Amino acid sequence: MSSNHCSTCRHFLTLQDLTVSELKYILVRAKELKALRNTGKPYESLRNRTLAMLFEKSSTRTRVSFEAGMTQLGGHALFLSSKDTQLGRGEPIEDSARVLSRMVDCIMIRTFEHQVLERFAAHSQVPVINGLTDWAHPCQLLADLQTWQEHQGNIQGRTALWVGDGNNVCNSYIYAACMLDFQLRVSCPKGYEPDANLLELASERCVIIRDPLEAASNVDLVVTDVWASMGQEAEQVARRKVFAEYQVNESVMAQANPNALFMHCLPAHRGEEVTAAVLDGPNSVVWDEAENRLHSQKALLEFLLCS
Ligand code: CP
Ligand code: NVA
């Protein structure tokens, strides 16, 4: 899957649209912006800037963190759903990109096919941010990496375990492992692996270990996500059977390091991909992770709009 750069602006379609040092800078800045917000002092680096947020799928965290983030930085965010815009009535994605990008300073899109995002970005005059596609969720990784560093310091050389579906978030974890030099184990049923090209590219950083108990041995971080992502609702019942052995429960966590973290991008289904005891337990940092969507995306917006 190729990344797109228009000649005049930077996009954030995958983590690899950043260099390693840019990614590290954004994570440092996210920490600073979090501390700054906790002082209560206003800080308006994006005064008078507008972010358009185009959603073709539901969202709580992505929508609220981008909107609150723009307000906190002195700017404005516009919520646009495909249902109530002309996009839902068939206006081509390229035309929508041309028009919106003449009016706003940045555009975030959540859509289905990654290629739709790439086509949009190719026709936009302003930075485009991937707010989740079927293939990648890089904004989630900014928050996850910030959270991991916050709780365990330097993550270079550490080990993360992904349990469950090799989905969009999992693909983004593979990029993150390559960029920040940590090991990633993926424990998934046959046929539900992450992107094959990515796995090949990351062969030194990422390994498939089918048995979740074996895979969890001595890991520093355990991550999972829903068994059926948005757009896969029709497969929900079948997937419950396929993934039954891939639940993050106390037995899995017992194999990990005692201070291992548990993360989940949310929304979670207690009793499916994760038990309530783990999600609400002492190793879980899911609420910090959700909050960090706000801080890390503010850092991303500043980076794309001000540098
Ligand atoms: N994690 C995440 O992207 O959540 P939302 O679907 O609520 O935006
Ligand atoms: N994999 C999930 C993530 C939701 C934030 C989905 O795509 O629905």
pLDDT attached to residue 9: 85
In this structure, the residues whose C-beta lies within 6 A of any atom of ligand 2 are 132, 167-169, 225-226, 229-230, 265
Q: Are 185 and 161 contacting, i.e. CB atoms less than 8 angstroms apart?
A: yes
- Kindly give the distance from the C-alpha atom of residue 266 to the centroid of ligand 1, in angstroms, as a whole number: 6
The residue nearest atom 4 of ligand 1, judged by CA position, is: 61
61 touches ligand 1 (CB under 6 Å): yes
What percent of the chain shows pLDDT beyond 90?
96
6 pLDDT band (50/70/90 cuts)? low
pLDDT attached to residue 210: 98
> Which among 140, 169, 286 is the best mutation to test ligand 2's pocket, defined by most ligand atoms within 8 Å of the CB?
169
110 touches ligand 1 (CB under 6 Å): no
Distance, in Å, from the CA atom of 193 to the CA atom of 227, rounded to the nearest integer, reads 12
Q: What is the mean pLDDT of the chain?
A: 96
307 pLDDT band (50/70/90 cuts)? confident
251 touches ligand 1 (CB under 6 Å): no
- Report, as residue numbers or ranges, the catalytic residues: 110, 137, 140, 225, 265, 293
- Kindly give the distance from the C-alpha atom of residue 7 to the centroid of ligand 1, in angstroms, as a whole number: 30
Whether residue 127 is predicted with pLDDT greater than 90 in this model: the reply is yes
The residue nearest atom 1 of ligand 2, judged by CA position, is: 229
The structure tokens 């971080």 sit at 221
Distance, in Å, from the CA atom of 157 to the CA atom of 259, rounded to the nearest integer, reads 16
Whether residue 5 is predicted with pLDDT greater than 90 in this model: the reply is no
pLDDT attached to residue 269: 98
Give me the sign of the Cα torsion angle 266, 271, 275, 281: positive
Based on DSSP, count helices (H) and strands (E) in the chain, helices before strands.
12, 9
Average pLDDT estimate for 177-199: 98
- Residue 114 backbone class (left: φ over 0; alpha: ψ -120 to 50; beta: rest): alpha
Q: Which has more confidence, 164 or 82?
A: 164
Ligand 2 atom with minimal separation from the 231 CA: 8
Average pLDDT estimate for 204-225: 98
> Which among 293, 294, 297 is the best mutation to test ligand 1's pocket, defined by most ligand atoms within 8 Å of the CB?
293
Q: Could you tell me the domains of the chain?
A: 15-137+290-306 (3.40.50.1370), 140-289 (3.40.50.1370)
Distance, in Å, from the CA atom of 62 to the CA atom of 143, rounded to the nearest integer, reads 11
The structure tokens 């590219």 sit at 201
Amino acid (one-letter) located at 269: H
Whether residue 299 is predicted with pLDDT greater than 60 in this model: the reply is yes
pLDDT tens-digit series, residues 14-47: 999 999 999 999 999 999 999 999 999 999 999 9
pLDDT attached to residue 11: 98
pLDDT attached to residue 4: 41
CA of 290, nearest ligand number: 1
Q: Residue 211 burial (CB < 10 Å; 0-12/13-18/19+)?
A: exposed
Average pLDDT estimate for 227-254: 98
What percent of the chain shows pLDDT beyond 70?
97
pLDDT tens-digit series, residues 80-94: 999 999 999 999 999
Whether residue 2 is predicted with pLDDT greater than 60 in this model: the reply is no
pLDDT attached to residue 7: 57
DSSP string, 22-85: HHHHHHHHHHHHHHHHHHT----TTTT-EEEEEESS--SHHHHHHHHHHHHTT-EEEEEETTTS
Average pLDDT estimate for 209-221: 98
Ligand 2 atom with minimal separation from the 232 CA: 8
- Kindly give the distance from the C-alpha atom of residue 230 to the centroid of ligand 2, in angstroms, as a whole number: 6
